[in-house]
Structure 1
Amino acid sequence: MKTANPTTPRWPALPRLRQIAVVFIISLLIAWVTTPVFQSPFSLVLKRTTFIAMVMLLAFTFSGTWRLLWLPRWIPRWLVRVTAVCLLAPFASLTAYVAIAGGFMNFIRANNLLSGFATSTILALFFGSLVAVAAIKREDKQRERADRLQLELEKNALEREVLDARLRLLQAQIEPHFLFNTLANVQALVEAGSENAAPVLRHLIAYLRAAMPRLNDAEATLENEMQLVSAYLEIMHMRMPDRLQFELRLAPELKGLRFPAMALLTLVENAVRHGIDPSTEGGSIEVGGKQDANNIVTLWVADTGIGMAETAIPGTGLANVKARLQACFGKDARVDLHEQTLHGLRVELIFHPEVKA
């Protein structure tokens, strides 16, 4: 259940407690300064000044809350509020002096009260309009600040929705690509009549059962990703035991890091398909990750395969990984390609985990 804010009035036309406090302090200062002018006790001047100020405050809040239907729309709102304050000033002053005199006729007969009424009215008009204009400017600034904040919140919400939709689209591009490639590996073993076809198929089924629930997992971690990479490489190792070796080297502190599902696996799949598989000698794959003193995370997939041809153009897989990495960790996240010293390719994912898109 929501609790009411003590500074918020029950009715919108009534002033807030903060406004009442500010007006009372201003009334106190005006009464202290003008007491010698009126030649009256301070307490009497304070009561009269406070009454006039509170009536003008009611006029200010009422005219700012309720739409006056009989006024043309082209009249500025601030002008309506200042006019309301100025119109109420002489009536409030008159009411205060009539109450002091004990009746309207007594007020008319007392010349000193008439001069005091005129002075109070002039002071009320001056200070009332001045304070009203200052309050309107302050309200306008607060309204502009609130509008900017609301616009920023709406913008962030829209960007988050676009980001989520983009991630879902990129993820959808990976799922069929990965599935068809792994099934193609099984098909190749079956067509070749390899005795490893059945064991590989069993491992593949077990792998897919574990992998499929994680394909759309928004909370996937690097530890989850490394488990999938390990399972995939185990299957590929069974397919070509003499031509593929692999090593996983992930720093323990990175295991719980949120990471786009299947992104690292895409790089490993590319290393097998384009690096190790075409090579007559085979090779090894190293998958690892570390974090430096500046909290910059570097993940890598390095293979000793045939490497990348000079005329080769990075394909959809790398572009997809880069897009998902930047969507998750900001536009400064990058994918770097490095040729290995002898032969092979090293792909590095570099990002700051604390930077969000």
Structure 2
Amino acid sequence: MSQSEYTGNPFPWLKSVAITSAFCLGIAIVTYIVWPDNFYEDLAVSFGYGASAIATARFTTYFFPSLSYRQVNVLTVLSAMVLGTANAFYWLSGPDTYQSLAEMKPVIMLALLFTLICFYYFYSYEQKLLAQHEMEQVRRKQSEQEKALVLSQLRQLQSQIEPHFLFNTLANAIALIDQDTAKAKLMLVRLTDLLHTNLHRTRADVTTLEEEIGLISAYLDIQQIRLGDRLSYQIISNDVSLTLPIPPFLIQPLVENAVYYGIEPKGEGGAIELHIEEDKHELVVQVKDNGKGIQPTMSSGGNGVSLENIRGRLVSLFDNKASLTIKEPLEGGVTATICLPKAQLMTLQEQGEVHG
């Protein structure tokens, strides 16, 4: 594996300098204890070997990035032996000490031990990098497979509309034809809008806030006609870019839950508010209702996609950087909040365009 195949800078420069310096200092102290002479000379010799190793590794990886990590290690060891020994001879040679390189065999043996220990350290680090690289590839492949599965499940959801809701809407429209023709016509128009938007989304992995709001508005208009004065709703999206991309079927299930588990079981009905806000880093979508509160069946069944399904999609599509929270305020009802990172939303849009 070449240097360029590593993620980031493969050579741990700061860590290596710190560890090598500490090791050189330790070697100098041990040498001075065993052969008490001149500590500063021992320190200069020891750091000479360490500096030779670090400088060679730095030089090699900078000017020859195609070399493998193992080749860099071998060159580092050889350079440390040659340059470090030359530095040691400079400091230790003299009339009362070493007068030739042949007399420096003990120093050279210590240097060899030093460089072998350094080589073992960097070799171990290389193996760790390789293992991390392979693990990262496995995780990336698993993540892509999970996303593909989620998108496949989403396409199945997009290819159908809730039959129970569709039949009820048509039945209500038929009943209203004789009683209130205008309401019956409005219901059929909004149902047509809903089906048209849903059909368009079957061909896309990503929709926009504008399309999602249009779909929810059509859905709530139909429910408002069906429930009459028992349901009111408001959509608030001040200063939000409606062209922002968003995965489909994230907001609609929360609105469906608010209708079926919050407003409909409550005798006097209630109100639903959809708040959409954004800042530099995040898109926040909040669905509020003042209905019956949290019901046991909300997360496991009923109309729309379950809450666990939404959480699973958020984990898969946004790598744990998105969240869904469900709260029951003191004043009653339920508040569901989805937080989506905008950087990942843009990435999903790019991927959707490629797939399209």
Q: TM-score range by the shorter chain?
A: 0.5 to 0.7
CA shift at 1:217, angstroms?
Answer: 4.8
Equivalent runs, 1:1-357 vs 2, <5 Å = 6-8=63-65, 22-36=80-94, 37=97, 39=99, 116=102, 119=103, 123-144=107-128, 146-161=129-144, 163-165=146-148, 167-168=150-151, 171=154, 174-175=157-158, 178-192=161-175, 194=177, 195=181, 196-197=183-184, 199-214=186-201, 217-220=204-207, 222-239=209-226, 242-253=229-240, 259-277=246-264, 282-290=269-277, 297=284, 299-304=286-291, 307-308=292-293, 314-316=299-301, 317-327=306-316, 328=318, 330=320, 333-338=323-328, 341=331, 345-349=333-337, 351=339, 353=341
Gapped regions of structure 1 (runs ≥ 5): 46-115
User: How big is the alpha-carbon RMSD for the aligned residues of Structure 1 and Structure 2?
Assistant: 4.6
Judged with a 3 Å threshold, the aligned counterparts in structure 2 of structure 1 residues 295 and 208 are, in CA distance, closer, same or farther, namely closer
- Equivalent residues, number: 274
CA 1:10–1:232 in 2, change beyond 3 Å: closer, same or farther?
Answer: closer
Higher relative contact order by CA 8 Å / sep ≥ 6: 1 or 2?
Answer: 2
What SS does structure 1 have at the residue aligned with 2:335?
strand
| Cα 1:148–1:275 shift into 2, 3 Å | same
**TM-score normalized by the length of structure 1:** 0.57
- In structure 2, the CA distance between the partners of 1:38 and 1:320, relative to structure 1 (3 Å rule), is closer
Conserved? CA contact 1:329–1:353, under 8 Å? no
CA–CA separation in structure 2 for the residues paired with 1:174 and 1:11: 49
SS at match of 2:64: coil
Q: Which amino acid aligns with 2:234?
A: E
How much has 1:212 moved relative to structure 2?
3.4
Asked if structure 2 preserves the Cα contact closer than 8 Å seen for 1:222 and 1:256, the reply is yes
Distance across 2 between alignment mates of 1:337 and 1:38: 80
Measure how far apart 1:137 and its partner are: 2.7
CA contact (8 A) 2:284 2:340 kept: yes
Paired with 2:312 and 2:65, the residues of 1 have a C-alpha distance of 48
Instruction: Kindly name which structure, 1 or 2, has the bigger radius of gyration based on alpha carbons.
Output: 1
Between the aligned partners of 1:19 and 1:155, the Cα distance in structure 2 is 33
| 3-state DSSP of counterpart to 1:300 | strand
Q: Offset at 1:139?
A: 1.9
Q: Distance in 2 between matches of 1:312 and 1:349?
A: 19
**Identical columns (%):** 20
> CA separation of 1:233/1:188 partners in 2, compared to 1, >3 Å: closer, same or farther?
same
Counterpart-to-counterpart distance in 1, 2:145 and 2:190: 37
Distance in structure 2 (CA, Å) of the matches to 1:184 and 1:261:
23
**Secondary structure of the equivalent of 1:263?**
coil
